[in-house]
Chains A and B, each alone.
Chain A
């Protein structure tokens, strides 16, 4: 079903259309909410507000973007306002610390050694996934969201700009810093207990 058809059904008050709307946009909205909101208990209310807000404003949707991008923008701004209200850290200032460079290099060698070892391939994947999850959790909410939107949702810069409202230059700069921080976090978290 095309976006236009779905919006038409929603505007006509079709009950089944709402669950289809949630199903279609759940991946992106969940990605944004789960990455930006650290307090699990608050997520449900926020998601409910996001969908209610989207439904109320649906008649103003002009199909200038995809429906998912549009609700993604509502979700991002709802989460952003929530974080601002709760005074939670939105962005981390990038700290260039060269003292860790050699340590990171050693850790990088260790990670790559394990990745090329076929006998521990499965264990390596599991450990890497754990380190990556921990690394994402250590990023600021905005950086974690940008990483998810670009690398996991595979959205273009244009689409992420539409969702976040960030200028493309700022977005690229944030993504660059986020990837750099993520690499460092992953290297430090990878098999931390063995160090």
Chain B
């Protein structure tokens, strides 16, 4: 039988109940020194779990809660897809109208109706973007106002 003391690593692992294969746990039955070391570690580990949960002894002030999401990702995806399809269709329509003037008296020119259609679609896209910009601006202002009010009320109280 190997009478040499257990290594510090073996002792810690036994105390943690994490014995690796080949650990001479049986040695503890004959060796009071190693057994005491294991017991001491176990007492310490047990006491460590009993310690009170730490908590801040001060308030953590909230930062300015400015929305960080410009657009909901799904809404953004739908908006970009729809815009891309619209732009593609209008471009194709305009090109066909320019190259194959089936209903036009003036070859090589886009019909005014098609021009209006393109301008209207561009306007709708622009309005959509502006709406989103205004919406996001209002959200940010509201958040800043809220945080400033909270700051002042905390000071007043």
Contacts and interface: CB of A to CB of B under 8 A. Distances in A.
Interface residues of A, number: 47
Contacts of A108: 36-37, 40
A12 B62 contact: no
Contact of A147 (B41, B48, B50, B65): B48
Contact of B63 (A18, A125, A147, A183): A18
A128 to B, nearest CB: 5
Contact of B60 (A34, A47, A111): A47
A184 to B, nearest CB: 10
Contacts of B54: 27, 30-31, 34
Nearest to A14: B65
Interface residues of B, number: 37
A12 B67 contact: yes
B143 A13 contact: yes
B3 to A, nearest CB: 17
A13 B47 contact: no
A166 interface: no
Contact of A129 (B47, B66, B67, B68): B47
A58 B146 CA distance: 20
Contact of A19 (B37, B47, B62, B139): B62
B124 interface: no
Among B39, B45, B60, B69, residue most surrounded by chain A Cβ atoms (within 10 Å): B60
A132 B47 contact: yes
A15 B8 contact: no
Given A15-B65, A27-B53, A183-B41, A44 B58 contact: yes
A117 to B, nearest CB: 13
A109 interface: yes
B113 interface: no
A34 B51 CA distance: 14
A176 B63 contact: no
B121 interface: no
Contacts of A14: 65
Given A26-B55, A48-B61, A176-B8, A152 B40 contact: no
Contacts of B56: 26, 30, 47
A48 B61 CA distance: 7
A179 B67 contact: no
Interface string A1-43: 0000000001111110111001000110011001000000001
11 contacts: A11-B67, A13-B143, A18-B62, A19-B62, A27-B54, A31-B54, A59-B69, A108-B37, A112-B36, A154-B49, A179-B44
Interface of A: 10-15, 17-19, 22, 26-27, 30-31, 34, 43-44, 47-48, 51-52, 55-56, 58-59, 105, 108-109, 111-112, 115, 125, 128-129, 132-133, 147, 151-152, 154, 176, 179-180, 182-183, 186-187
Given A108-B36, A180-B12, 7 more contacts: A11-B68, A13-B140, A14-B65, A15-B143, A56-B63, A59-B69, A112-B39
Interface of B: 8-9, 12, 33, 36-37, 39-41, 43-45, 47-51, 53-56, 58, 60-63, 65-69, 139-140, 143, 146-147, 150
